[in-house]
Structures are given as C-alpha cells and as structure tokens.
Amino acid sequence: MTSPLKIAFIGLGQMGGGIAANLIRAGFDVTLYNRTREKLKPLLEIGGKAADSVAEACKGADILVTMLADDAAQEAVTLGPDGAAAHLPKGALHICHSTISAATARRLAEAHEMAAQAYLSAPVFGRPEAAAAAKLFILTGGKPEHAERAKPLFDKIGQRVFPMGDKPESANIAKLGGNMLIATVIESLGEVLALAGKAGIDRAAYLEMLTSTLFSAPIYKTYGALIVEEKYEPAGFAAPLGLKDIRLALAAAEELRVPLPIGSLLRDRFLTLLAQQGAEDLDWSAVARLAARDAGLN
C-alpha cells in the first residue's frame, strides 16, 4: 500500500478553499498555507494540516497547488529565497490555478526548471459553487507528462480537462481569451438592452426572447438577468478583477502583435467604470451600466 500524495496548497480564497476541501476529502495529505490564517479553520477540521509559511508548506511536498489573486501574489509565493521554488523538493510539480499573465507563467516555469522542478499552468473556468462541487473546467498548459501527473488531483476537483498546448502560457492565454468573451457578452447585452429600453421594449421580455432563441448559453441568462435587474452588488467577480483580466489579455496579445479591438473597447469601459466613486466593489457586469448611462437612461 502506497502512502497518499503529499500536497502543499497555497491560496485559500473562495475558489482555493473549495478546491482544497475536495482534495482533502479525496484522501490526499494536504498541508495548507494562507496569508490570512483564519481561512484555514474549516479545512483543518476535515483533515488538512496547517503550515506557517510557504517554505514550511512546500517542504517534502510531491505537488504544490496554488490559487492566488494576481501576478504579484503568485510571484511573491513562488520566487525569491522564501518562495516555493526554493523550498520544494527536486522533482516536485507546481500546479498553478491562478489567472495570471502569460509573461508570469513563463517566468514561473523557468524558475521551477532551474530548480529541477516541474510547472503546469492550470487556470479554471467556474465560480466558487463549481469549485465546491468539483465541477470546474480545467485548462492546462505544459508538457503532457506533467498534465498526466496532475490527473489524480484534477479527477477530484473538475469535470473536464482541456489541454491547450505544451507552452505553459497557452492555458493562461486561453483563459484570458475566454474571460474577454464573457466581458464581450456583458458589454453587448448592455448595449442592446439600452437600445431596447429606450425604444420602449420591456427589457425582461427582450432578454427572455434572446435567451429562448439564439443565445441559450447560461452566460447570457446569468449576466442578462443582472443587467435587467441592475443588480451589481454583491460582486460575484469584482470589476477590478475584470479590468485586470482584460489588461492581461491585451498584454499577451500585444506581445504577439495581435490587435483586439473589442478588448480595447472593454478596457476603456472598465476604466470608465472604475473612475467612478464606489465602483471597486461592483460586479464586473456593472460595465453594462455605462451603455445605459451614455444613452441617457439614468
């Protein structure tokens, strides 16, 4: 009988907490670290172990899993003398679920390679409820053998894995492109609902028509309802994160010399939104408010 895989898990926000819980319940030996210690509590109760530092969590781990808010947090946890690359054993694998830039993914991969470790970009689609229900969609970027090694974990947290390419950043670029598509749905719904509203069409009936015919994807229903009800709080995904993801998509595209006109338009919308007082806490779908405002609707 083999002992379970030893996993270090760093980043226990809404998404990370759900993923970690599923790994613990699946029987893995999970050591947890989070900057804010209180987030650990429910996970310790179901069998997780606590570490006081990144270094302590990484010591002796077979696999490191991270789910952090942005590039800066991810770099702080991974690089430098106190970072994961310096403390994971040789041969360990880092599975990175964070939505980070292509450039940072490349930098992480290089740092782990220099430390004789492996790196796999593995951003996910799914909201906190999907993470809790082990229903995430997982995109992978990296060598197939690393993705293979991650499979036992992925089986316990997601519903399907999509390999995007051998380069780590392929998964990050794929994820950022997907988020740009979601933001496009929000903006375009915002525009046509402003038009409908000013034309005297009942906006809820219009949305019902759209989502009953050509636009049946849940994303149209979910965001369409938020826009029709102007329900932008509490944020499921906060506006500053939306700006961040559009910025990262544009940065990856700029590096590859790919113009993204809709991406540019979205960036201007998020900046406009976030230039207004109090917008930091709104859901990113609040950009749809600007189309209504520019039409003189409020």
* Residue 167 among the catalytic residues: no
Least distance in angstroms from the C-beta of 254 to a second copy: 6
Beta bridge partners of 125: 137
3-state secondary structure 26-93: CCCEEEEECCCHHHHHHHHHCCCEECCCHHHHHCCCCEEEECCCCHHHHHHHHCCCCCHHHHCCCCCE
| Angle of CA points 250, 127, 43, to nearest 5° | 120
- Tracing tokens 């041969």 back to the chain, one arrives at 91
Nearest-CA neighbor of 189 among 258, 286, 280?
Answer: 286
Least distance in angstroms from the C-beta of 42 to a second copy: 28
Q: Nearer Cβ to a second copy, position 56 or 191?
A: 191
Least distance in angstroms from the C-beta of 241 to a second copy: 15
Q: Nearer Cβ to a second copy, position 53 or 216?
A: 216
User: Which pair of structure tokens corresponds to residue 125?
Assistant: 């689609």
Q: Nearer Cβ to a second copy, position 33 or 154?
A: 154
Query: Is the Cα dihedral 217, 219, 220, 221 positive or negative?
Result: positive
Considering the candidates 59, 151, 175, 198, report the single residue annotated as catalytic.
Answer: 175
Contacts of 102 (CB under 8 A, 6+ apart): 169, 172, 173, 176, 248, 251, 252, 255
Determine how many CB atoms are found less than 10 A away from the CB of residue 190: 24
Report which secondary-structure segment, H or E, holds 130: helix 128-132
Q: Nearer Cβ to a second copy, position 10 or 182?
A: 182
Least distance in angstroms from the C-beta of 265 to a second copy: 6
Q: Nearer Cβ to a second copy, position 152 or 177?
A: 177
- Tracing tokens 């994160």 back to the chain, one arrives at 241
φ, ψ (nearest 5 deg) of residue 140: -120, 145
Rounded-to-integer distance, Cα 245 and Cα 238, Å: 11
Least distance in angstroms from the C-beta of 181 to a second copy: 6
Least distance in angstroms from the C-beta of 74 to a second copy: 20
Q: Give the catalytic positions in this structure.
A: 175
